[in-house]
A = this chain, B = another copy of it.
């Protein structure tokens, strides 16, 4: 991350803030050149990531902090989003989607993030908490159903 983000958000871990963040992100992605479908997928991925930080990382507490950073990427064009928290640390290997053929409520979030974004990386932050780095390029392969 050589240069500073175009835009950063610091928010409380409240589900009522998911909608404002999605709205901002759809507009940001559309200005970069993503079409309506792709912008919607980007907003969905971030929504799922935030929902997981709130539910799993912070166990549903609404007074903790989450940071989001947004970059427009050039050559190739696209965007990068980083989600950071001070929540419970988990081994990145353990954050994975379940078998979709087992039809049950829940367990779709990580699948949705992986299938809508081109690059997804979870890591433990040295200072505590987790970091998720998402990237999506303009004109990359369209979204596929999760395998």
Contact = CB atoms under 8 A, between A and B. Distances in A.
A14 interface: yes
A42 interface: no
A7 B7 contact: no
Contacts of A77: none
Q: How many copies of this chain are found per oligomer?
A: 2
A26 interface: yes
A25 interface: yes
Interface string A1-18: 000111111111010110
Contacts of A31: 16, 19-20
Contacts of A23: 23-24, 26-27
A33 to B, nearest CB: 12
A21 interface: yes
A61 to B, nearest CB: 14
Interface of A: 4-12, 14, 16-17, 19-28, 31
